[in-house]
Each structure stands twice: as C-alpha cells, then as structure tokens.
Amino acid sequence: MSESTPAEEARGTDSATRGGRPARPRAGRTGHTVRTGRTDRVALSSLVAAHAISQTGNVVTAFAVPFYVLGLGGSGAEVGLAAAFATAPVIIGGPLGGVVVDRVGHRRAAIVADLVSGASVLAMPVLALTVGLPFWALLALVFAGGLLDSPGQTARRVMLPALTERAGVRIERSVGLLDGSERFAKLIGASIAGLLVAAVGPVASLFVNAATFAVSAALTGALVPVSGPARTGSPNPRDDHPTDATDATEPTRASYRSDLVEGARFVVRDPLMRLIVALVLTTNLLDAARGSTLLPLYANDRLGGAAALGLLVATMGGCALAGNVAFGFVAHRVPRRLTFVACFTLAGGPSSLAFALGAPLPVLVAATALSGLAAGALNPILGTVQLERTPEHLRGRVFGLVTAGAWAGIPAGALLGGVAADTIGLTVAFGIVAVVYTTVTLAPLTGGHWRLMERRGPTGGRPPAPSL
C-alpha cells in the first residue's frame, strides 16, 4: 500500500494529484503563489543553520569569559557572577522580547538580535586590546550581548512551523532539527573554543564569536523568507502577508502591556505550561551551577584547563546531537511522558555523580556521553508540546515568557555554583546537584496534569488550549 509523502500530509488535498498529474501550486489570499519544493526546504535549512551558527557564538563566549576572569586572577564567585550577568538578560529579554518579536516581525527580530549581540561581543576584545577591559566593563558587555539573545531564538522558533509546513516536514522532526542544531553548535563550538582559548587566549577567541553572529544575520536575511506579518494580537493573523512590516490599514494595536498580559494569562492558565516552567527552572538552575561555573573551575583545577573542558562539552553536544537525530525517527511513536522522565533523569544525574566521585577523565567522558544521548530527546518533546498547545498569534509572547520563566534560575545557579565551589568545595557541590537533579526530574511520574504531555486521539491532534 502506497503512503503519502510528508509534504502531501501537511498540505492535504491541495497537494493531491489530479488525473496522474501533480496539482498546480495554489495561490494565497493575497494572490502570491505558495512556494513548494526545494525552495521551501532551503528556507527551513537556512533557518536551522542560522540558529546553529548563532548558538556556536554563544558557546565560544561561554568558554572565553570564565577563562578571561580566571586570567585576571578572579575567584570562583567572580566566575559565577560573570555567568550570571550572561544569563540574567534572558529574564528581561524573554517576556519583553516576545512582545517585540510579535510586533516587528520574526525575521527582522532575528536579524537585529544577531547584529546587536555581535556588536556587543566584538567590543570585548577591542577594548581589551586597546584601553583595557576591567571586570565591571566585561559584566556590562556580557549583559548587553545576552539581552537580545532570547528574542532572537524566540523569533526563529516562531518562524519554524510555517516553514515546516511549506517544506512538508513533520513538526516533531523540524523541532528536533532546530534543537539538533543547538547540539551541533555545542559540538563544533566547544571544540573550536577549547582549541582557541588554549592556543590564542580568551580575548582573541571572541573575534570568532562576533563573526558567527554576523554570518547568522546574513544567512537569515538572504535565504529565510518573510513568513507573515508582524503579529498584532489578532486571533487570525494573515500569515501570507507579503511584507514583514505592519500594514497601515490594520486596526490600532493594543499596548505592549496588554500584549504581555495576554501571553502571561495563557501561560498561567495552562496547567501543563506551569509545570514545565517550574521543572525546567529548577533543572536549569542546577545546570547553570554545573555547566557555567563548577565545570570550568573543575577543568581548570583538576583536568588541565580549557582543552579538557572542550572535550567534555563537545562530547555532550555530539552525543546530544546523535540522540536528537535518533529520537527524530521514533518521536511520533513513543510515549512522551515516560520518555521525557527517563531521558531527563539520565541527562543530569549520572554525569554530576561522576564528577562528585572524582572519576578519571575517560569515565567523565563516558558519563557525559550518556547524559548527552539522553538529553537529545528533551527539547524536541518540550518544543512540540508548546507548539501544539499555543495559539499561533500568541507564540512569540508565550515562548518568550516560558523561556524567561525557565531561565529565571540560571543567573542564581551560576552565582551559587561559584559560591559553593569557594565554600563547600567542588566535590560536595557536584554531589548536591546529582541528588537534587535526579529527584526533581522524576516528578512527571506523579501523573496529574503531566499526562497532558501525551497526544490526544489516534492522530496526535492538538489538545485544546485554555481559554483566555
């Protein structure tokens, strides 16, 4: 029995053949022909590639900044403070940036975010090599560089469903591709950053970081098409609008505050969204303590420096990418909640325990590989659930708010990790992370609203969203 292609499944009868001949491309409401085929796949691939390149720059920063602080004679607490300043902007840029993304246009927001982040990062080595870069100035630039990072990521995620439908790809697969691009960025970025920091120092490596943001912006501008108008809060936005700007004939928009409140009301009233934010907030706090502070300090103190850290982060990213790709083939067949719990527990507990026990580097690499393989399934599950439950016109605001909520603990986690390293020591700190991480990631097994993660109906249809 023949099966329809993913493209035909996505487009329904409009893509059916008539009389043995492919149907002609249909026209949108504005008269513009809906593009199909290779061009759509190139657009989707370009979006994923731009996301990967931008994330690669973030990985380089995550390496360069702590080793720059340590090179200045900084303490563990100062390393944690720098990491906190790098992540705190997400709490601001998430909710406010989501509203801006919905208004100014997703493609434009992604490009501007990359350009501003690149300029902020470029200022770090320029100042360090000329008039000097004191610690307070580093904190200010790290904060500025991260302020538009979340809006840029949100904009790319909001563009994903339309490009996915046009390219004829399952939404689980495309969400997995976007997450896989982040994993790939960690693999490549960690390898490059570890070698760069070890060879030329943290300051010079930041030039590479600035270049990645410029390339990402150029790729988005050249190959990712405008997918719709700037969102106005209308429940039926005209996605085939030919421009990325506001139509002068549209009704007057609500205030920024009203848009933000509308998105916040949805997140608060959706029981599953509340649980997801609470869980990921806690695990992100622990991940920040471990990855942003404890791991660089551990590598510097016991593993010989940036090269070992690069090996560990690259292993995590590479195995997470492999897990992501493998999960993409079975994502629509496995039970979401049980898979989510099993993978989430393995993603944090074993590797943290290995560091707590002072295991040799080969064992640390093996434990990190296991965590990476398990982590590959997490974001595709979460991303698909959010897309299914969120109305299209609210996605920018909701995704920004969810990101801000999930990241709210990261600055505190990074800072607490540094304080813990200076007070109770690296071994005890890693042990606490292992125990707490394992405990909280078992929470979805309790049932209740966590059961809403599963698909509704035999076709996995979208569950009803809470009313506004």
Q: Quick check: is 255 in a domain?
A: no
Supply the DSSP string of 406-437, one letter for each residue.
HHTTHHHHHHHHHHHHHHT-HHHHHHHHHHHH
How many domains does one find in the chain? Answer: 1
Query: Whole-prediction pTM value?
Result: 0.61
Q: Which domain CATH number covers 369?
A: 1.20.1250.20
**Does a structural domain hold residue 234?**
no
Q: What is the pLDDT of residues 285-322, one digit of tens each?
A: 999 899 888 998 998 888 887 788 888 888 887 888 88
The answer to the question of residue 305 being in a domain is yes
Q: What is the pLDDT of residues 422-455, one digit of tens each?
A: 899 999 999 999 999 999 999 999 888 898 888 6
The H-assigned helical ranges of 288-425 are 295-298, 306-330, 336-356, 361-375, 378-389, 395-407, 410-423
Instruction: Return the pLDDT at 56.
Output: 83
Answer yes or no: is 286 within a domain: yes
Which residues does 6 contact at the CB level (< 8 Å), separation at least 6? Answer: 168, 169, 170
Q: What is the pLDDT of residue 241?
A: 37
In-domain check, residue 236: no
Domain assignment of residue 9, yes or no:
no
* Structural domain span for residue 373: 35-221+260-453
One-letter identity of residue 97: G
Residue 108 lies in a domain: yes
351 closest CA partner among 340, 366, 339: 366
Distance in angstroms (rounded) separating the CA atoms of residues 465 and 122: 43
Q: Per residue, what are the HEC states of 456-468?
A: ECCCCECCCCCCC
pLDDT of residue 254: 59
221: its two tokens: 């501008």
Q: Could you tell me the sign of the dihedral formed by the alpha carbons of 48, 50, 55, 56, in that order?
A: positive
Strand partners, 33: 27
**Phi, psi (5° rounding) for residue 191?**
-65, -45
SS3 of 371, please?
helix
Positions in the chain whose pLDDT score sits under 50: 1-35, 228-252, 457-468
Q: Is 376 within the bounds of a domain?
A: yes
pLDDT at site 14: 41
Pseudo-torsion of CA 60, 65, 67, 73, nearest 10°?
170
